[in-house]
Chain A
């Protein structure tokens, strides 16, 4: 009984709703860097709207950390070299503790912060306020050009490479027969370890970007690809909405 109940809850914890609002998290000894889609960055502080599913896409630059909000009963290790996801939905405005729960070295016990939940309207105002940076997707587009991705992946290219438009969140048929959903982890691996998952019908010519691309650029590109998807889905507003 307890077993099945807890499995159900657990599976729930692992399945963020498709429309969850993504926030990108990079952990390093001993701080949290959080970035919203419009480019606003925070350190050891996270502002989120209430009554909105939030999805954290997390990775670490050094050792394993763990993102823990005790009041919400959620926790997820943050592992270097891969993305892990965590999602939650806060219904009461307020502040919540944020802890690092996986031992990560000297200042492990100091690696905490606060999560502030604001009503959606206040949150939008907060989000716009004092943000001088361009949005993640814009920076992602720039990086996409800078790293030369467009040279192969745009329709005019001479190399035979799959189109990335409309890719995010859709199933991909791989050469070895598997079908996978193109989520953040898949995109990450496709870029850093292109030899791992080969798309059916394409040659293995894509260069390996591991070690050459910062986590920041990678997140920006992934957000750009997500954005592409939203644009073709004809949801022009979704880009600016929080």
Chain B
């Protein structure tokens, strides 16, 4: 049987494919491009911030840069990253299905994402936006002189890609599990994508409508967010964060799923507390809907609301803590092999923990008053999103690369890059915690001279990070042509995806597999 890669070589065979694995690759290529754009903006920002004076770019340009950076990185890179690339590739394989439930919708989601991205990039090329990725009113609706409408519509369009992907995952997991694949035999990666999909489906439409309201308000110069008309700018913030807090779990839950696959494999032990892990995933995704107000502690919302949101934010840490402790318990007494995916996965756990704990600092009311809108917040979310989720994405890419490409990546290079990313990352973002604590506000084009030392460190780290990110790009590409051919199961891993040849045939399984046992049946004796 020919592999899915060999099933047609024309461009058309790719652009009209219904195969979830090919669609995953289409996503992979597009989000890599988006990552490069977002990373390019970050690079210019870090260059600007190397000196206190605003000497490299105009203030307006700087504002456009971080807006582009945030918008592209969040909506066009990180949200689609793990679900749409790894999830698309793996979820059907992991549950023993031949494809997603709605293959055409799956392809349409990709085109929709591209359409949204094209609109957004068009708006950026026309002149850009300077509102920040948060689009706060009334700045975005009445005062900004930039291409807000077109970018907002671009994000709106991309939102439908999220919604359709979410629907596809939910229905696929519900209806296409192979015989014997009960809910509690699902790999945690599938659970994580399932929970993520629920958030995608419930939260994204709220963002979509909110963005439309912004566009309308800008066009008609009247609406419900403008205080001059009796509207309320805080209403916008509530709606935006009602989406965007759950969205941060869209960005981290799949990463947790990846870690839950890699860690047991390279520790040769079953995941500790499988059931608790699933409950924790569901708890995070549901409590996550109730904490949005922690972004608004100093916005002027009622004090009592703030107290409640703070308490709920502390509660959401409990399931996250369960997950961290379970990963640690999985490692305990395992025979650990520090391969490249494992380095990424352990990096994820460590940096997520730091990012999460500093999230709790921010959730503590009195501390947030000082730290909000400073670089402390910037450091918090980059720890989770870059140190955590991006690392998990890369880790997953390495882990399943043999399955995806049919080739092995060069392990040495993999380890070097992983370690370099870890080092560069910490050097970039740890100083930002200190900057924030010392009071440097975010979104500042120029800053007081006393902050320079830490900023220089951060910019230096960012250069290391930039180089380190290019490495995998290079050697993965290399391995496609020159890499060693991969066996079906190079890591001796469990999971249905490893029972297929590498790369898998178009319809995955010649025969629908029968599942007879729980996932993660690792034993220490198994060689790896």
Do A and B touch each other in the complex, judged by CB within 8 A?
yes
Q: Which residues in A have some Cβ–Cβ distance to B below 8 Å?
A: 2-3, 5-11, 13-14, 29, 62-64, 66, 68, 70-71, 73-77, 79-82, 84, 97, 99-110, 193, 210-211
Contact, CB under 8 Å: A7 / B139: no
Contact, CB under 8 Å: B373 / A68: yes
Could you show 9 A-B contacts with beta carbons less than 8 Å apart? A3-B364, A7-B366, A10-B303, A70-B438, A76-B369, A103-B139, A105-B139, A108-B445, A110-B446
* In the complex, per-residue mask of B362-376: 1 if CB is within 8 Å of any chain A CB, else 0: 001111011011100
Contact, CB under 8 Å: B370 / A63: no
CA distance A66 to B443 in the complex (A): 13
Does B314 sit within 8 A of A, measured CB to CB?
Answer: yes
CA distance A132 to B300 in the complex (A): 34
Please, which residues of chain B bring their CB within 8 A of the CB of A100?
Answer: 441
Contact, CB under 8 Å: B444 / A109: yes
CA distance A64 to B233 in the complex (A): 9
CA distance A193 to B227 in the complex (A): 12
Contact, CB under 8 Å: B136 / A64: yes
Known: A66-B298, A103-B136. A10 touches B441 (CB 8 A): no
Please, which residues of chain A bring their CB within 8 A of the CB of B233?
Answer: 64, 79-81
In this complex, what residue of A is CB-closest to B67?
Answer: A103
In this complex, what residue of B is CB-closest to A76?
Answer: B298
Contact, CB under 8 Å: A79 / B299: yes
Please, which residues of chain A bring their CB within 8 A of the CB of B134?
Answer: 103
Please, which residues of chain B bring their CB within 8 A of the CB of A102?
Answer: 136, 373
Contact, CB under 8 Å: B373 / A101: yes
Known: A9-B366, A105-B139, A109-B54. A82 touches B443 (CB 8 A): no
Chain A: minimal CB distance from B423 (Å): 30
Please, which residues of chain B bring their CB within 8 A of the CB of A29?
Answer: 143
* In the complex, per-residue mask of B27-66: 1 if CB is within 8 Å of any chain A CB, else 0: 0000000000000000000000000001000011001000
7 tightest Cβ-Cβ pairs between the two chains A and B: A70-B439, A81-B227, A9-B366, A10-B365, A109-B444, A6-B364, A63-B139
- Give the number of A-B contacts (CB < 8 Å): 135
Please, which residues of chain B bring their CB within 8 A of the CB of A109?
Answer: 54, 59, 441, 443-447
CA distance A3 to B134 in the complex (A): 27
CA distance A101 to B368 in the complex (A): 13
In this complex, what residue of B is CB-closest to A61?
Answer: B228
Chain B: minimal CB distance from A29 (Å): 7
CA distance A7 to B368 in the complex (A): 11
Q: Which of B80-88, B100-108, B305-313 contacts A (4 or more CB under 8 A)?
A: B305-313
Within 8 A of A (CB), among B207-235: 227-228, 230, 232-234
Does B99 sit within 8 A of A, measured CB to CB?
Answer: no
CA distance A71 to B448 in the complex (A): 14
In this complex, what residue of A is CB-closest to B437?
Answer: A70
In this complex, what residue of A is CB-closest to B296?
Answer: A77
CA distance A210 to B59 in the complex (A): 34
Known: A64-B233, A71-B439, A110-B446. A80 touches B227 (CB 8 A): yes
Please, which residues of chain A bring their CB within 8 A of the CB of B63?
Answer: 103, 105-106, 108
Q: Which residues in B have some Cβ–Cβ distance to A below 8 Å?
A: 54, 59-60, 63, 130, 132, 134, 136, 138-139, 142-144, 227-228, 230, 232-234, 297-300, 303, 306-307, 310-311, 314, 360, 364-367, 369-370, 372-374, 438-439, 441-448
Chain A: minimal CB distance from B55 (Å): 13
Known: A64-B136, A81-B233. A13 touches B448 (CB 8 A): no
Contact, CB under 8 Å: A3 / B298: no
Chain B: minimal CB distance from A112 (Å): 8
Contact, CB under 8 Å: B139 / A10: no
Contact, CB under 8 Å: B446 / A79: no
CA distance A66 to B374 in the complex (A): 12
Contact, CB under 8 Å: B143 / A68: no
CA distance A103 to B364 in the complex (A): 22
Known: A66-B298, A81-B227, A105-B139. A3 touches B311 (CB 8 A): yes
Chain B: minimal CB distance from A79 (Å): 5
In this complex, what residue of B is CB-closest to A2?
Answer: B364
- Contact partner of B227 among A6, A82, A108, CB < 8 A? A82
Please, which residues of chain A bring their CB within 8 A of the CB of B441?
Answer: 68, 99-101, 109
Contact, CB under 8 Å: A73 / B444: no
Chain A: minimal CB distance from B229 (Å): 9
Please, which residues of chain B bring their CB within 8 A of the CB of A6?
Answer: 310, 364-367
In this complex, what residue of A is CB-closest to B143?
Answer: A63
Please, which residues of chain A bring their CB within 8 A of the CB of B60?
Answer: 106
Contact, CB under 8 Å: B365 / A7: yes
- Contact partner of A97 among B59, B230, B311, B439, CB < 8 A? B439
CA distance A210 to B230 in the complex (A): 9
Contact, CB under 8 Å: A3 / B310: yes
Contact, CB under 8 Å: A75 / B372: yes
Known: A70-B370, A75-B369, A105-B130. A14 touches B439 (CB 8 A): no
Contact, CB under 8 Å: B365 / A103: no
Contact, CB under 8 Å: B139 / A64: yes
Please, which residues of chain B bring their CB within 8 A of the CB of A108?
Answer: 59, 63, 443-445
CA distance A96 to B438 in the complex (A): 13
Contact, CB under 8 Å: A11 / B300: no
Chain A: minimal CB distance from B147 (Å): 15
Given contacts A75-B298, A77-B299, A105-B143, 5 further A-B contacts (CB under 8 A): A99-B441, A101-B374, A108-B444, A109-B59, A211-B228
